[in-house]
Every structure is written in C-alpha cells, then in structure tokens.
Amino acid sequence: MFVEFTIETPPLHIAARRCGRAGGPKLRALHGWRDNVASFTPIAPHFAEHDLVMIDLPGHGRSSHRASGAWYHFIDYCTDVLAVVEALGWPRFSLLGHSLGGAIASILAAALGDRIEHLYLIESLGPISTAEEKLPGLLAQALRDRQAIAGKQLRRFPSLEAAVAARRGNRDMPLSETSARLLVERGVRAVESGYEWSSDPRLTLTSAMRLSEAQVRGYLAGIRCPTRLVVADPPMPFVDVEHMLARTRVVGDLRWTRLAGSHHLHMEMPAEVAAALRRD
C-alpha cells in the first residue's frame, strides 16, 4: 500500500509516496528523466522490509516546477534530495536510483559517504559526460534553447490512451502498455482540450553544463558503500559502453549484472532486477 504525502522544501513542494515497513532500513528512490515515482511501483514490493520513500523530482510528476528564471542543473537535484532527507530526519539511508536518479544517487553517495549505507543503481553509474572540446558548443546550444523556451508549447493529447501511445513511441526505449500507463497517469494533467504533460518544459532543454569523463570518475572513486548496478542488454544508444566499464573499475565495492531488457527493465521485470540488486 502506498501513502501519498507532500514534503515542503521551500520554495518547492515535493510530492512523495511511501511504503514498506515503518522503522525499517531507510531507502530513498530517485526516478529517471521525465519519469515520476510510478517508475518504482512494480519493484517496490521487493523492498517491503524497507521504509521506502519515493519522490517526484522538481519539475516532474506532481512536484513543483522551479521558479521563473531558474533552470534544471544536474547538481541542484542533489540539494533537493538532501533537503528531503533532512525533512524526513534521516541521518543514514540507502539510495535506489534509475537513469537520472541513479546519476544523482551516485554523486550523493560520493559526497555523503558517511551517511549512505547501500547504493542500488539501475541503468546508471554517474551522469552523462561530454568531451572537453565539445563543451563550448554544448553551452552555445543551451543558451539558444533558453532563448526559445518562451514560445514552447506543451504537447496535448485528446485522451489518456493517446498520451500512453506517445509515451510508448520511443523505439530505443520500448515500454509495455502497463508500464507506460503507470507513468502517464501520474505525469499528465487534465486541460480543457484533453491532457498535457505535467513536467516542466525546461527539462527538455540542452544541459548548459556537463562534467568531463575524468571528473565523473573522480566522483565515483569517492563511493565507499556497497554498490550494486543492473544494466540492460543490449545497452541503450546513449550509453558509452567503454566509459561504463571504466567507471565500474573505480568504485571499490561494486558488483554489476547485465540483464536482457530495455531501459525501464525495473518496471518490466522487477523481480529479476530486485534480485540482482540485492545479491550479496
């Protein structure tokens, strides 16, 4: 059973969902880019002995959008997550992260080594990196995107079924109808002409700043807690396999498993993913 609640981290309202055993080991779950807490609905029962709290990251699901003039820098999510943990009064806890959420969890585990007990990662080990020579062009594109955002319209759908079909439309990251519906039902809002995404349009903009691969590995080398990683086979197009393998070698206590599946394999095959994550 899930309990819905809101965590106030002024000026943001963070929508959250809780399940598991009160008083159990503390576990924070962080979803992927443009997903929401429904991402963890299928896998949550496999962590039933934990006090599991999942949040919609700012700009996602039912949480607040950032104020006008603010942006979605990757590192700022770390501040958001820490504010939630402090509001919950958790001195020590574990992290479960998928994709973007896994990247955030990785960096937090490195920075807060004395507070993180276990790190469970799905399709992520650190954030996406960019080669140093490409950084000026990346920033130039980000600035152009920011100038154009004022005229950007949210895509609208005449029905939930149309939104579900759109969510399933990415051939590189296939989703079952059931999984897509879970994400869509929490990720849209009703409007006069149907439905539109509730996520902040600014999430779609080019990142203004990214780390180099050497910087990412520098963070990952600071992880001291037991770390378990599950990745999809075949790898997603945005995954640099050579970089991923190099990253696994800098984390001290890391065990990783490759499972046949797609990017949202924790939704499509939750029992297998949970077993791999929890394997000693």
User: Would you name the residues annotated as active-site residues?
Assistant: 99
Q: In what order do the strands lie in the sheet with 194-197?
A: 156-157, 194-197, 188-191
Tell me the three state secondary structure of residue 21.
coil
| Rounded alpha-carbon distances, angstroms, from residue 206 to 72, 138, 142, 192 | 10, 7, 5, 30
Angstrom distance (rounded) from CA 246 to CA 136 = 25
Q: How many CA atoms lie within 13 A of 257 on its CB side?
A: 20
Q: How many CA atoms lie within 13 A of 30 on its CB side?
A: 30
Q: Which residues contact 144 (CB under 8 A, 6 or more apart)?
A: none
- What beta strand segments (E) does 66-197 contain? 93-98, 116-122, 156-157, 188-191, 194-197
User: What is the number of other CB atoms lying within 10 angstroms of the CB of residue 75?
Assistant: 12
Which DSSP letter does residue 176 get? -
Angstrom distance (rounded) from CA 243 to CA 106 = 15
45: preceding bond cis by omega (within 30 degrees): no
